[in-house]
Homo-oligomer: A and B are copies of this chain.
Amino acid sequence: MNETEISTLGEFGLIKELTKNFSLKHKSSVMGVGDDCAILDYSGKDTETLVTTDLLLEGIHFDLTYVPLRHLGYKACVVNFSDVYAMNGVPRQITVSVGISKRFTIEHIAELYDGIRLACEEYGVDLVGGDTSASVTGLIISITCIGEGVKGKTVKRSGARDTDLLCVSGDLGAAYMGLQLLEREREAGQGVEDFQPDFAGKEYIIERQLKPEARRDVIAEIAQLDIHPTSMMDVSDGLSSELLHICQSSGVGCRVYEDRIPIDFQTAMMAEELNMNLVTAAMNGGEDYELLFTVPLAQSERIQQISGIRLLGHVTDERLGMAMITRDGNSEITLKAQGFIMEK
């Protein structure tokens, strides 16, 4: 048997490799692997069922030295809800499975579930099942979310067309810079008794990392304004990576303007303090859970009625590839996605 390291394929290559021999057999399986959610049709009527799942592992996705368990529970839910909104759907139910090592007490796990309950209440979602198990090391959280979409209104990654406008909600890079700050303070605190981390003036980026929200409000506004995105996804792995997904799925290219990328003041300040490239952080940081979507050019005016939506650029013919136009307008940087987190 050959021995190929998993990192050679990357996460998306691995999924492609593993699922290449699977085909869909049921008429209720409308769409399988390859978008924010799978689409199932159980109603035979005007709605369809959306399914998404996320696996969160201690030491890979979170560090409990600075992530409170309540926040972790909240975030673990929100990242799944975000995938359902990214299909223009509404999350309805979740199942939560947890693997728990011996260092956790019932009170610890109850805190995790407090956060899960808060997220469920906030977003109107029901916890309907799950599994609990001992684990050898660390905490494991696996959440599956089931949502509801309206047939014909569910938005995939694959519908972007040449000349469509590229839009994004909120701002980017803040969660990533929040993580950098949390890591810095964790290191500063090692071995120091009664260490108090210094987050003054950086509350926004900390909150973006520890307690992200899913953009249900944006979904409500686009519905109200009768806007029909041609493609959509949430920004979980970073803008570059998501643009690549939309362009590949839709068979198009894109142009993004560097000076249009929305960045919060605290994000910029933190990047300067840490001497990091701000645009790189915004393009590749990830965990923003903002919505990236495309709309036909004709809906340009309507889109601009929603506050906090930024026009990033536009969709092009596939042959033009994916590029970012630099701030001075003189050069184009080809966009590439960052890889799969195989190691911390």
Residues of chain A whose beta carbon lies under 8 Å from any beta carbon of chain B: 1-6, 8-9, 11, 14-15, 17-19, 21-22, 24-26, 28-29, 31-33, 37-38, 40, 42-45, 47, 49, 51-55, 57-61, 92-93, 95, 97-100, 102, 104-107, 109-110, 113, 117, 120, 124, 126-138, 140, 142, 144, 146, 148, 340-343
Contact = CB atoms under 8 A, between A and B. Distances in A.
8 contacts: A2-B107, A18-B113, A33-B128, A44-B45, A53-B131, A53-B142, A55-B133, A60-B99
B129 A53 contact: yes
A106 B26 CA distance: 28
A134 B10 CA distance: 11
Given A6-B104, A100-B6, A109-B14, A38 B140 contact: no
Given A51-B95, A57-B99, A117-B22, A132 B8 contact: no
A43 B43 contact: yes
A60 B93 contact: no
Contact of A142 (B59, B104, B142): B142
Chain A contact surface mostly = mixed
Contacts of A144: 51, 53, 95, 144
Contacts of A5: 105-106
Contacts of A18: 109-110, 113, 132
A57 B132 contact: no
A20 to B, nearest CB: 9
A116 to B, nearest CB: 8
Interface centre among A26, A47, A104 (most CB of B within 10 A): A26
Nearest to A6: B106
A261 to B, nearest CB: 27
